[in-house]
Amino acid sequence: MDDIVKAALLKWPQVPHCHGWLALDTRGNWFMRDDRIQAAGPFPQVKGSRIEHEKLREFIERNYAPDDSGAWFFQNGPQRVYVEVEAAPWVWRVGEAAGWPVVSHTGQPAQVHSSWLDEHGRLFLHTDIGHGLVHTLDMGLAAQAVESGHWQPGAMNFADMPQRFGYVLRPLPGG
């Protein structure tokens, strides 16, 4: 967490949390969802405005973390902005190097503990930093890791993943 964010938390510890305004899709893209977008429909059916500003994305990613209930948030100064995640809190990029190294959409390296295929054929990896979905552009490399026996995916229904791996798709106020 950025030092400026830590300082703001100390100065203003009672700022109310924000829900519904920030979302993460299955490709690691961040979306702003203002009142109009929220009224138009739920995420991901209505995504909102993709955050393109590089410095803002980097700030969000440096200050992205889970709370004790498994709900993910972005600490924006003194305000906690909860994130709706489309599939999982991490989106994994797979490298071409030996061992198929994995890095999150936020740039954090991770060590794979297990792999899972859902009923839609999506590949999820559970790692030392949490559970996430392999980016669609990296499925070729992921297939090589599976075919080589490096990853041996089990089957799991997507609906069972959040509880099994301790994360919340859509954090709600008071929840």
Residue 118 is encoded by which pair of tokens?
């859902």
pLDDT tens, position by position, 5-61: 566 556 556 767 889 999 999 999 999 999 999 999 999 999 999 999 999 999 999
What is the rounded distance in angstroms from the CA atom of residue 19 to the CA atom of residue 128? Answer: 27
User: Is the distance from CB of 51 to CB of 57 less than 8 angstroms?
Assistant: yes
What is the rounded distance in angstroms from the CA atom of residue 163 to the CA atom of residue 161? Answer: 6
- What percent of the chain is modeled with pLDDT above 90? 85
pTM as predicted: 0.90
- Three-state SS for 26? coil
- Long-range CB pairs of 53-59 (<8 Å, 24+ gap) are 57/30, 59/2
Give 3-85's CATH code, choosing from 3.10.540, 1.25.40, 1.20.950, 3.90.930.
3.10.540
- Long-range CB pairs of 48-51 (<8 Å, 24+ gap) are 48/23
Domain extents for the chain? 3-85, 90-160
> Of 7 and 97, which is predicted with more confidence?
97
